[in-house]
Each structure stands twice: as structure tokens, then as C-alpha cells.
Amino acid sequence: MNRRISRICKSFAGIILLGMVLICMNACGDSGDRVIDEATGNRALKQYEVTKDKVKKIEEKQQERYKDILPGAAREEKPDE
């Protein structure tokens, strides 16, 4: 009788544990893709490309803003003068 109760408790605990794992896997579907991207380096590459584009835009804005102050920037933009 005691063995039977122990077996039932172990089976019940196993079912609960399996249910918790399945719920967690279902709820964490998007983060699995993020983990794969992080492990393969795709996420870092995407961040690098976005940052590189932002820096390029900032550089262009700065050149426009300070072209009157910096004579070299004005010459680069108007080569026929």
C-alpha cells in the first residue's frame, strides 16, 4: 500500500513538472529565437549595422551644420570652385 501511494505521488509530480516545462516552452517562444541570434552573432551584427547607419547620418548632419566653419568640408562638397 505504501509503495502504491509513493508511486502515485511520483507520477503526479512528474505530470506537474512536465506541464510546467511545456507551459514555459510555449510562453518563451520568442526568446528562443533571441537566444539563437545571440549565440550565432546575428544580433550583434544587426546592432552593428544599425549603429553604423546612425553614425553615418550623424556625420552627414554635422558636415552640413559646420560646413561654414570648416573650410575643408565646404571644398569637399563644391569641387568645381
**Which residues, including other chains, have CB under 8 Å from residue 74's CB and lie 6 or more apart?**
67, 68
Domain region containing 16: 1-29
- Does residue 3 form part of some domain? yes
Residue 17 in any domain: the answer is yes
Average pLDDT over residues 7-24: 85
Looking at the structure, tell me whether residues 18 and 47 fall in a common domain.
no
Residues 45 and 77 occupy one common structural domain: yes
19, part of any domain = yes
Q: Identify whether 4 is part of a domain.
A: yes
76 and 45 assigned to the same domain = yes
Q: What percent of the chain has pLDDT over 70?
A: 73
CA dihedral of 41, 43, 48, 50, whole degrees rounded to 10:
160
DSSP code of 67?
T
Number of domains, the chain: 2
Q: Is the pLDDT at 70 greater than 70, yes or no?
A: no
Q: Which residue has the higher pLDDT, 47 or 22?
A: 47
Residues 48 and 76 in one domain: yes
Average pLDDT of the chain to the nearest whole number: 79
Cβ neighbours of residue 44 under 8 Å, at least 6 residues apart? Answer: 38
| Global model pTM greater than 0.85 | no
Whether 52 and 24 map to the same domain: the answer is: no
Residue with cell 568640408: 73
pLDDT value at position 9? 87
